[in-house]
Structure 1
Amino acid sequence: MKLRSFESSDSTIICSWIKDKYSLYQWSADRIGKFPLSGNELNEFYSLMKSKGEILPLTAVDDENKVIGHLFIRYPDNTNKKIVRFGFVIVSPLLRGHGYGKKLLQLATTYSKEVLNASEITLGVFLN
């Protein structure tokens, strides 16, 4: 598994993993409230957030470059670039329960430390 920059073509695959409104709510923390979520809607949301410098979306791919996971990195406080937060973390339903989510977070942690020079990393979660 490796991380690469999110590509607009990833959005349809990622959206296909979200099977119901509750899953969308869990994944997006209600920041995107419409189900079913289309690839175009996700791309529009990300374009807006990226234009404001608020997120860095990343995609996890396997050895054949098949999309298998996704997350974004954001700065909770734009005045402090040493702190990052992971959000919208998701792994293909076919691969859940096999350590891919853990590996995704490990790769994102390494990226945050080595590329973004982050000294503190948080994970956006909420109670189910």
Structure 2
Amino acid sequence: MDSPLQISPPPQLRTPEPADYDAIALWLPDAQTTLRWAGPLVRWPFTGSTLPAQLAAPRSTSRVLGAGDDPPMGFGQYWPRDDGAVHLGRLLVAPGLRGRGFGRLLLDLLIAEARTVHGPAPITLRVYRDNSGAMALYTQRGFVAVAELGDPDVEFMRLAS
């Protein structure tokens, strides 16, 4: 598959369908991967039919990156925080598409949509410090560490612009 900009129709965010959750469930092969991606409230193993309820969180919006009727290319969520920021979470790109620009596209589209829905609020996220690919992407896109909100394993980041 080509880069995101060479796909027709171009990938866009959309509301997940049941079949999307079936595909996403296959991207998470074990309990440790699931824990790192979604936190302790999502219990592995799960199925596509049980995943939406486990991912549901108050005031959250779930989106998939997709092109037409093709299987999903990525998944992410955003929700307003009590401090007025909008938090991005549970970002994930299909295993066969990683390292090809789909994460950047997913991130950029989620930020744009979150700002459309919630206004010019600060954008935040958390990332495991040993996830060098994600750390590089977030830094490249303008996120900076907020040291006092991180912990030894996880970096808390805020979009600088």
Q: TM-score range by the shorter chain?
A: 0.7 to 0.9
Q: Secondary structure at the match of 2:103?
A: helix
- Residues 86-123 of structure 1: CA deviation (Å, up to 9, x unaligned): 11110000000111111100011111122331421011
- In structure 2, distance between residues paired with 1:126 and 1:12: 25
Deviation (angstroms), 1:22:
1.4
Whole-Å Cα distance in 2 between the matches of residues 29 and 11 of structure 1?
17
Please report how far the alpha carbon of residue 8 of structure 1 lies from its aligned counterpart in structure 2 after TM superposition. Answer: 3.0
Q: 1:118 to 1:42 in 2, by over 3 A?
A: farther
Structure 1 residues 52-91: aligned runs within 5 Å? 53-77=58-82, 80=84, 83-91=85-93
- Are 1:73 and 1:87, in contact at CA under 8 Å, matched by a contact in 2? yes
Structure of higher CA gyration radius = 2
> Aligned residue for 1:35?
44
Task: Give 2:54's match in structure 1, choosing from 35, 45, 51.
Answer: 45
Return the alpha-carbon distance in structure 1 between the equivalents of residues 88 and 34 of structure 2: 17
Q: Give the residue type in structure 2 aligned to 1:70.
A: F
RMSD (Å) for aligned C-alpha atoms: 1.9
SS at match of 1:73: strand
Aligned pairs for 1:9-28 within 5 A: 9-28=19-38
2:19 corresponds to which letter in structure 1?
S
**CA–CA separation in structure 1 for the residues paired with 2:104 and 2:29:** 22
2:114 match? 112
Please state how far the C-alpha of 1:58 moved relative to its aligned partner.
0.6
* C-alpha displacement of 1:26: 1.3
Q: Does 1:2 align with 2:12?
A: yes
Number of residue-to-residue matches in the alignment: 120
* Long gaps (5+) in structure 1: none
Q: Provide the residue aligned with 1:97 in structure 2.
A: 99
Higher RCO by CA contacts (8 Å cutoff, separation 6 or greater): 1
